[in-house]
A and B are shown apart, each in its own frame.
Chain A
């Protein structure tokens, strides 16, 4: 089963968490990213996530594999919503299990940071003022 998934509908984190737990787990760390009602000083009404599905799933899997190689963890999983989301909805979830807390925290942080910087998903915000726009944070030039 893939450990990185895109979901076009709300998903249940308790089920995902239960899927990671077993008798060898001594620590579980998770991250939840939620849709908030403001960004960069502007009121936000809701948002839409677009993704290049095939590449996003492949890159997400690579990130989980890298986390498993880099940290002493037992398992990890990440789900990212796509489509239309309202304020207060869960946008992204990361769960990590390990024998001890340090690698669980570190891998969880690594996965969300890498997902945000590498996975081809784009946020389109609708503002309270009536306008809307894509977020394309400026990154290092690569050419």
Chain B
């Protein structure tokens, strides 16, 4: 099991009903983690419409999970 911290923004936060949570998971990589959390929280996007960040930097979906890292799923942005 790996323990990581997940951050939610915008409509992902509304769906998860929390701004962040600590998750213990068997997921091997970021894509598997998202799929697990999408099912748990009914998150309104498939992973292919999102970007993912680890410890404040954009990351690849295939990156392995590292204990204690902060992971953020980035829905399509709408600044400006």
Contacts and interface: CB of A to CB of B under 8 A. Distances in A.
The answer to whether A and B interact is yes
Contact of A143 (B9, B10, B47, B72): B47
A92 B80 contact: yes
Interface string B67-80: 00000101111111
A137 interface: yes
Contact of B77 (A54, A112, A117, A124): A117
Nearest to B75: A136
Nearest to A6: B79
A120 to B, nearest CB: 5
Given A55-B72, A120-B74, A139 B79 contact: no
Interface in A76-93: 80, 91-92
Interface residues of B, number: 27
B7 interface: yes
A136 B15 CA distance: 14
B10 A50 contact: yes
A116 B80 contact: yes
